């Protein structure tokens, strides 16, 4: 159906284009003597209208060939009363029709939040804070808090202010630093922002945290950490 | 008034007028661009163009529609009416760029002709009445914009005086009256489009204030005209009707009177009175509000001229307005409502001298502007662009937060790993650092190309570009000819890292993952709905965008069929809220929802 409508519209405009060529060649001078000798830019300006309204001009051209009256505005003045009535009707219709339609549109606006909760359960209460790590660079605005719990468990909490815009960024925990992802590294989890992310870490007193983009195959940042004391849960030092 | 046509009849005032117009457009586009780039740095160039042209065109339309009634209410605004045609054509060109860009952005490079898509993408939602009710909530807002653009095209294409003459003034004016219909359509386009996505209360407030101002001005001007007609009602005498008092018509000036139910103009020229039609042959301007310049009655709108004694334009021009017999009885001027033969000459009725006109300056576009009017116009030329810049800056600042995400357009890398065709097309990349799972799509609004079919569990390589947002990454396979299937993956390579979480029920919006991850910003909501429909129809993996109080930016869950069955849903549900039940798993770092039930939500 839509294809047919567009095809007919295309056909109409194609006929209009052919007509415009013929009209510029012969018809325009017959229909309107004012166009005789007019410049190329004038002809370009009126061409879209000729293509769109070619039946009107074709009618005028044919009547001119048969010497009928084809007068334009010089003999057919504006009817101010009729126009004023039409204007009053349109403005009144808009003044009455638009407010309820706009009000309905505002009332129909969808809620931004549709779910009370996401499908993934929240993280349990946090163990004690052990160490704060500041952002390694302005390009990587990630802060971290290392936390320790009973039995030497370790957690890391990442605070990320904005979308890092780094594809498949992963966090690894390595016993010692080295190029790329060092040997014996443990995959901690994928990293993205903004927000607060929490992960379990291996039970180590020191090590290196490496942020590595798996899609780009490059190290983005790293932190070396050392926790020289243990938490009260671990008996103190 | 013309003998032969020129493309544009330039004069100094028109040039200054167009400079002011340029100033307004630069102010609007510049303010929107600058403020958006500062306050919403994630915005894409395409979205900036779409928004800048939309805001500029809509604002210009308000100015255009306000000028007419303002000039009726306060004559100082008459000079702004003089070149309103250029305002209209410029507004149409801005709207055309907006429409063309929207067509390319949201409908091109898909599985359907963009024009066909623009008129059919939403399926049954094109029916304004569905199931016995008004389907406004999901009716495609683009339709309102397309209809308005067609009207603007017809108006812009016929804006030259050639059309005024060849269509006839009445038909031409009626056609151009359609601008009010187009305005109504645009109000609906905005209400059911951008206002369904943008959350700032300023947007509806601005829309309501703008519409109230435009319609209020038109109603006020109409009320003033009606009141004036009532005041001009008169008495009759032997076929003549009393029109006014002779001393009400100042030397060189006219007065609008109402005789026989029509408005006529009575002029005094060299202490003789003349009665003519009040309607200028050009665009129906009110001749009675004009002035005699060089012995000719001069229309206040565009300066067309007529001789008082016969109504003819001075040679070589050929326009004529009707003249009417009149007589003087004491101080009362009587006019016969029946005109003389067109072009018939008359002497005019001698009248006692009248006072010189005081105060009011008269503006003619092609002459030097009087001092007071010039000062007023200079103020407008400064205040208008500045006001527009401040207003548009507020509009830009109030935009919703722009979605994050990166589309590495033009950056092509080679990727290799294990191909998964199910549950959703992915590349399982294994490197020295570990494994990751990257979604796959094709070029434009298409899913992965056919070359991947039959290679599930195969070690493959191909070229592509990355698209990523938060923890999700996609490869756009924009060079299918680079695809190579190397070998069957080893069992340890092919192991799918799927960790079940459990059964969940979620409410969210269906999005196409390619746009949402970074190709479009925003890649969700009603204004992106047509594009999402095209992408999903082309095979881009669908996702469910779930926003919660704690996660207002939202998380995307990949959607797949349950137990190996294909996912069943209507692509027209894109951009709408759905209720989904299914088994949630984490595939590597990607949340995957195997759907058991998916239906439109009553919330949306």
- Does A60 lie in the same domain as A148? no
Please check whether residue B444 is in contact with residue B114, taking contact to mean a CB–CB distance below 8 angstroms.
Answer: no
Of A102, A108, A118, the CB nearest to B546: A118
Q: In angstroms, rounded to a whole number, what is the distance separating the alpha carbons of residues B19 and B24?
A: 9
Question: Residues B441-470: pLDDT tens digits?
Answer: 999 999 999 999 999 999 999 999 999 887
pLDDT band of B434, cuts 50, 70, 90: low
- Does A225 lie in the same domain as A151? yes
Report which of B462, B456, B451, B453 is spatially closest to residue B494, judged by C-alpha positions: B456
Token pair recorded at residue A193: 């922002």
Question: Residues B46-91: pLDDT tens digits?
Answer: 999 999 999 999 999 999 999 999 988 887 888 888 788 899 999 9
Helix, strand, coil abundance in chain B, percent, nearest 5 = 40, 25, 30
Residue A12: domain span: 2-65
Token pair recorded at residue B349: 């009725």
More confident residue, B358 or B216: B216
Strand-pair category, B434-442 with B472-488: parallel
Measure Cα distances from B496 to B126, B250, B338, B424 in Å.
43, 95, 94, 12
Token pair recorded at residue A200: 């379990």
Question: Residues A163-179: pLDDT tens digits?
Answer: 777 887 878 888 888 88
pLDDT band of A115, cuts 50, 70, 90: low
- Does A141 lie in the same domain as A59? no
In a domain, A220, yes or no: yes
CATH code, domain with A222:
2.60.40
pLDDT exceeds 70 at position B603? no
In a domain, A48, yes or no: yes
**How many structural domains does chain A have?**
2
In a domain, A90, yes or no: no
Please check whether residue A155 is in contact with residue A147, taking contact to mean a CB–CB distance below 8 angstroms.
Answer: yes
Of A83, A104, A170, the CB nearest to B436: A170
In a domain, A106, yes or no: no
pLDDT band of B168, cuts 50, 70, 90: confident
- Cβ contact B115–A6 (<8 Å): yes
In a domain, A206, yes or no: yes
- Does A52 lie in the same domain as A135? no
Residues of chain B with Cβ-Cβ distance to A106 below 8 Å are 191, 195, 204
Q: Report percent pLDDT > 90 for chain B.
A: 49
Q: In angstroms, rounded to a whole number, what is the distance separating the alpha carbons of residues B70 and B73?
A: 5
Residue A52: what pLDDT? 97
pLDDT exceeds 60 at position A236? no
Distance from CA of B480 to the nearest CA of A (A): 19
Measure Cα distances from A25 to A47, A51, A65, B164, B434 in Å.
12, 14, 15, 21, 73
- Cβ contact B507–A113 (<8 Å): no
- Does A54 lie in the same domain as A138? no
Which residues lie below 8 Å from residue A146, measured CB to CB, with a gap of 6+? A129, A130, A131, A132, A133, A154, A155, A156, A201, A225, A227
Secondary structure (DSSP) of B73-112:
H-GGGHHHHHTHHHHHHHHHHHHHHHHHHHHHHHHSSSSS
- Does A153 lie in the same domain as A59? no
In a domain, A118, yes or no: no
Q: Is B374 exposed, middle or buried (0-12, 13-18, 19+ CB in 10 A)?
A: middle
Which residues lie below 8 Å from residue A71, measured CB to CB, with a gap of 6+? none
Question: Residues B469-499: pLDDT tens digits?
Answer: 877 889 999 999 999 999 999 887 777 778 7
The residue of chain B nearest to residue A184, with distances taken between CA atoms, is B433
- Cβ contact A214–B604 (<8 Å): no
Residue A121: what pLDDT? 43
Q: What is the mean pLDDT of residues B122-137?
A: 84
Residues of chain B with Cβ-Cβ distance to A162 below 8 Å are 404
Please check whether residue B73 is in contact with residue B83, taking contact to mean a CB–CB distance below 8 angstroms.
Answer: no
Q: Report percent pLDDT > 70 for chain A.
A: 79
Report which of B438, B447, B444, B448 is spatially closest to residue B469, judged by C-alpha positions: B438
**Residue B290 dihedral angles phi and psi, to the nearest 5°:** -90, -165
Three-class secondary structure of residue A196 per DSSP: strand
Q: Among A24, A43, A65, give the residue marking a domain's end.
A: A65
Q: Among A42, A65, A88, give the residue marking a domain's end.
A: A65
Measure Cα distances from B460 to B410, B431, B477, B589 in Å.
22, 14, 13, 21
Distance from CA of B399 to the nearest CA of A (A): 14
pLDDT band of B257, cuts 50, 70, 90: confident
Q: In angstroms, rounded to a whole number, what is the distance separating the alpha carbons of residues A237 and B83?
A: 86
- Does A223 lie in the same domain as A147? yes
Structural domains present in chain B: 20-228+370-397 (no CATH), 236-350 (2.102.10.10), 406-600 (no CATH)
DSSP letter (8 states) at residue B265: E
- Does A137 lie in the same domain as A56? no
- Cβ contact A34–B429 (<8 Å): no
Interface with chain B: mutation pick from A98, A117, A168, highest number of B CBs within 10 Å = A168
- Cβ contact B177–A86 (<8 Å): yes
- Cβ contact A167–B180 (<8 Å): no
- Does A132 lie in the same domain as A61? no
Which range, A145-154, B145-154, B266-275, B505-514, is most confident?
Answer: B145-154
Report which of B314, B306, B242, B251 is spatially closest to residue B278, judged by C-alpha positions: B306
Q: Among A17, A32, A65, give the residue marking a domain's end.
A: A65
- Does A135 lie in the same domain as A216? yes
Alpha helices in B200-347 (DSSP H): 202-231
- Does A133 lie in the same domain as A220? yes
Q: What is the mean pLDDT of chain B?
A: 88
In a domain, A84, yes or no: no
Residues of chain A with Cβ-Cβ distance to B156 below 8 Å are 48
- Cβ contact B195–A79 (<8 Å): no
In this predicted complex, what is the ipTM? 0.83
Interface with chain B: mutation pick from A119, A120, A163, A192, highest number of B CBs within 10 Å = A119
In a domain, A205, yes or no: yes
Place of tokens 């660079």: A137
Peptide bond into A194 cis (omega under 30): yes
Residues of chain B with Cβ-Cβ distance to A105 below 8 Å are 136, 188, 191-192, 195-196
The residue of chain B nearest to residue A51, with distances taken between CA atoms, is B157
For the CA atoms of chain A, what is the radius of gyration?
Answer: 38
Q: What is the mean pLDDT of residues B290-308?
A: 89
pLDDT exceeds 60 at position A119? no
């Amino acid at each position: 159906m839509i294809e047919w409508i567009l095809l007919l519209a295309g056909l109409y405009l194609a006929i209009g284009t052919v007509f415009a060529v013929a009209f510029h060649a012969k018809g325009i001078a017959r229909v309107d003597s004012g166009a005789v000798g007019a410049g190329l830019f004038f002809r370009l300006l009126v061409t879209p209208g000729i293509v769109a309204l070619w039946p009107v001009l074709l009618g005028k051209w044919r009547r001119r060939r048969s010497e009928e009256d084809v007068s334009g505005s010089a003999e057919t003045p504006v009817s101010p009363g009729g126009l004023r009535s039409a204007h009053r009707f349109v403005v009144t219709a808009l003044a009455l029709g638009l407010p309820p339609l706009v009000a309905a549109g505002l009332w129909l606006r969808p809620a931004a939040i549709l779910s009370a909760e996401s499908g993934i359960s929240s993280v349990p209460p946090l163990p004690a804070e052990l160490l704060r790590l500041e952002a390694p660079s302005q390009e990587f605005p990630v802060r971290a808090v290392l936390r320790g719990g009973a039995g030497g468990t370790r957690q890391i909490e990442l605070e990320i202010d904005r979308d890092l815009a780094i594809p498949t960024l992963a966090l690894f925990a390595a016993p010692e630093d080295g190029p790329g992802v060092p040997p014996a590294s443990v995959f901690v989890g994928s990293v993205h922002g903004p927000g607060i992310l929490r992960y379990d870490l291996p039970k180590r007193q020191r090590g290196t945290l490496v942020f590595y983009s798996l899609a780009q195959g490059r190290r983005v940042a790293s932190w070396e950490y050392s926790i020289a004391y243990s938490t009260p849960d671990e008996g103190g030092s | 008034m013309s003998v032969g046509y020129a493309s544009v009849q330039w004069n100094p005032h028109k040039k200054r007028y167009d400079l002011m117009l340029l100033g307004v457009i630069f102010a609007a586009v510049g303010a929107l661009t600058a403020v958006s780039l500062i306050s919403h740095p994630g915005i894409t160039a395409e979205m900036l163009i779409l928004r800048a042209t939309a805001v500029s065109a809509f604002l210009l339309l308000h100015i255009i529609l306000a000028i007419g009634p303002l000039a009726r209410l306060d004559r100082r605004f008459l000079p702004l009416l003089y070149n309103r045609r250029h305002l209209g054509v410029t507004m149409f060109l801005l709207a055309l760029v907006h429409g063309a860009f929207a067509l390319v952005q949201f409908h091109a490079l898909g599985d359907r002709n963009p024009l066909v898509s623009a008129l059919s993408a939403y399926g049954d939602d094109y029916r304004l009445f569905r199931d016995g009710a008004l389907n406004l909530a999901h009716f495609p807002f683009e339709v309102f914009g397309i209809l308005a653009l067609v009207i603007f095209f017809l108006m812009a294409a016929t804006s030259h005086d050639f059309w005024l003459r060849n269509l006839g003034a009445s038909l031409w004016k009626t056609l151009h009256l359609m601008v009010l219909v187009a305005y109504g359509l645009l109000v609906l386009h905005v209400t059911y489009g951008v206002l369904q996505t943008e959350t700032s209360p300023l947007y509806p407030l601005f829309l309501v204030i703008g519409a109230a101002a435009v319609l209020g001005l038109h109603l006020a001007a109409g009320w003033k005209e009606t009141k004036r007609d009532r005041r001009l009602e008169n008495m009759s005498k032997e076929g003549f009707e009393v029109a006014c008092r002779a001393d009400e018509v100042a030397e060189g000036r006219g007065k609008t009177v109402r005789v026989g139910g029509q408005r006529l103009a009575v002029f005094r020229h060299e202490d003789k009175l003349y009665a003519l039609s009040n309607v200028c042959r050009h665009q129906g301007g009110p001749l009675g509000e004009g002035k005699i310049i060089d012995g000719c009655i001069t229309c206040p709108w565009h300066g067309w001229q007529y001789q008082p004694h016969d109504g003819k334009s001075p040679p070589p021009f050929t326009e004529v307005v009707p003249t009417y017999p009149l007589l003087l009885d004491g101080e009362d001027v009587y006019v016969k409502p029946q005109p003389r033969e067109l072009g018939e000459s008359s002497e005019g009725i001698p009248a006692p001298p009248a006072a010189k006109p005081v105060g009011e300056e008269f503006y003619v576009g092609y002459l030097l502007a009087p001092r007071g009017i010039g000062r007023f116009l200079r103020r407008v030329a400064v205040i208008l662009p500045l006001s527009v810049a401040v207003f548009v800056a507020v509009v830009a600042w109030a935009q919703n937060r722009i979605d994050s995400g990166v589309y590495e357009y033009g950056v092509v890398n080679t990727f290799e790993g294990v191909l998964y065709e199910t549950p959703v097309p992915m590349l399982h990349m294994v490197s020295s650092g570990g494994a990751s799972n990257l979604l796959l799509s094709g070029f434009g609004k298409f899913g992965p190309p056919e070359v991947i079919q039959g290679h599930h569990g195969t070690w493959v390589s191909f070229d592509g570009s990355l698209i990523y947002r938060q923890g999700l990454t996609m490869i756009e396979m924009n060079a299918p000819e680079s695809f190579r299937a190397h070998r069957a993956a080893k069992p340890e390579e092919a192991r799918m890292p799927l960790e079940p979480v459990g059964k969940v029920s979620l409410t969210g919006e269906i999005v196409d993952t390619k746009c949402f991850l970074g190709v479009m910003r925003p890649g969700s909501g009603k204004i992106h709905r047509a594009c999402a429909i095209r992408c999903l129809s082309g095979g881009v993996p669908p996702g469910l965008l779930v926003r919660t109080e704690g996660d207002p930016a939202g998380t995307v869950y990949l959607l797949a069929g349950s137990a190996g069955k294909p996912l069943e849903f209507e692509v027209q549900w894109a951009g709408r809220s759905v209720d989904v039940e299914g088994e949630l798993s984490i595939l590597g770092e990607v949340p995957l929802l195997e759907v058991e039930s998916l239906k439109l939500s009553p919330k949306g």
